[in-house]
Structure 1
């Protein structure tokens, strides 16, 4: 497969917008695109132990309130995306929400939604928000669970722009009855 193509659903391969004909990467020119309201939601999971989940739920972690730290880290991550991901455009972020669903058994689901009014989407900002929040949460719990893991990061939904809106069903908690919202 050449560097400027991806697997296509039709008969012709789709062009990658961040790759020039010679195969080199470049920042896409979005100057002619229409400004629209755009939104994206992403999720990531932090898996740990039941004992750690009890500490997280009660704000009893040795380093302090793990969810508050992770929420701020996620918001900051979304705002810094273009500084972290080389080909992302800086965007005027209008809103970032970072929320958590706690499963008493062994996991935290992190959900971030990012909004803007601009010429390009905010999927990367939503992914950066959940990944930064997950990293901060991991940092807060690693002293009590060295085997914690970050898993299943993905975009759940997007809206706005030429390609329109789409969404996928969120993953189910391993123990939906034990779910606690924070």
Structure 2
């Protein structure tokens, strides 16, 4: 019988705590079992194994990010919405760098992640409709936005901006460049 209160969602939450403390490489069934107070075999009542747990962690990260992005773009449009989303993306990575490392590279081609990936994609696509971007133009713009946010935030999280200039200013310049490209 599973420990009272232990569920798949609770296992994933414990896994996220492990990732936050030890990084993605520290995510093991033993570490999650220790955190939840059960023996590792007991986790199999909630997840099929480490691969499924990693997928569920990736989905949870996408859901968290999508919720944040949705919250910051609601009531905004155009440049204001795009800038808010890009800032929110960077802030998530700054707040949860290890957790962000669990973000899947290509969630739209993984059956376990496609729903969460599509929900996130819809936030981006919806935001870009205000620029008249549809179909492949919207996909290209979404890729550009993700590349800007992911690339900058990942480099920043790994300590890659050691020069004296303010990274905030650099990021704002990237946002301005992207916004200019959307308007052209």
TM-score, normalization by structure 1 = 0.28
Q: Which has the larger share of helix?
A: 2
Greater per-residue strand proportion: 1
Q: TM-score, normalised by structure 2?
A: 0.28
